Amino acid sequence: MRPALDLMAQVPRLPEGDVIDLGCGSGAAASALAARFPDRRIIGVDSSPAMLAKAAETGVYADLIEADAATWRPDTPPALIFSNALLQWLPDHDTLMPHLVALLEPYGVLAVQMPRQEAAPSHRLIREVAAARYPDRFGASDAFRAPLRPATGYVRLLEPEGEINAWETEYVQRLQHAAEGHPVRMFTSSTAMRPVLDRLTAEEQTDFIAAYEAALSPVYPQEPDGTVLFPFLRLFFVLRRGIL
């Protein structure tokens, strides 16, 4: 939750309107949003019915909407669109980000956090191992690169839309020992690895995981207590929309 809380802490005073948790998932940020904005309606938006069902269990959301974040439109302009670790999955940020700003109330805020880890060994090795072992399907080593630019790129893109504050933070996470495999592989298995695993047979998945873990071990060695130190870069921006 720390990146979400760090993002939330930089949201300035809001105009009237709802708070949208865009890509709310299971509602991990729900309680924090409610505490930060106690007098606002919190609305969750996600494309997964299963995640929305879990989000409903938090009891925080005034409404939950099943929708694709790229095409969703609110009934009324919100005061805040808060998006934590979602938009890195969506393409064409040149169009997407201005579109989200345009949905806001005047002086409304778009607050975004996205992992920017694609150049780190944890993610680069996924592409390289896949390309080396299965060149017929993964010929380009950058085929799975996320559509992200550095913080300066989002400033240049969005400064015509209003006042923007952008930054990057590298968090050093201590991953616990996992009997099932290398802790970094366990961390990436449900996210960054999915585009590869989804295109492999069960036997090929086993082969790929073994090769990926072998490549990870010298880059992310175990500490004396069995844990692994895992630097993880995240990109943030908070934009207050200008007057219409």
Q: Which domains does the chain have, with CATH numbers?
A: 1-115 (3.40.50.150)
Record the pTM: 0.89
| CA–CA dist 161, 99 (Å, integer) | 10
Instruction: Look up residue 194 and give its two tokens.
Output: 């999915």
Instruction: Give me the helices (H) in 159-222, please.
Output: 183-188, 194-197, 202-219
pLDDT along the chain (244 residues), means of 10: 96 97 97 97 97 97 97 97 95 95 97 94 93 85 68 96 97 92 93 91 96 96 94 97 77
Would you state the pLDDT for residue 190?
A: 85
Would you state the pLDDT for residue 146?
A: 60
CA 69 remoteness from chain centre: 12
Q: Are 240 and 13 in contact (CB under 8 A)?
A: no
Instruction: Look up residue 77 and give its two tokens.
Output: 């302009």
Rg (CA), the chain: 19
| CA–CA dist 213, 229 (Å, integer) | 15
Instruction: Look up residue 90 and give its two tokens.
Output: 């969506």
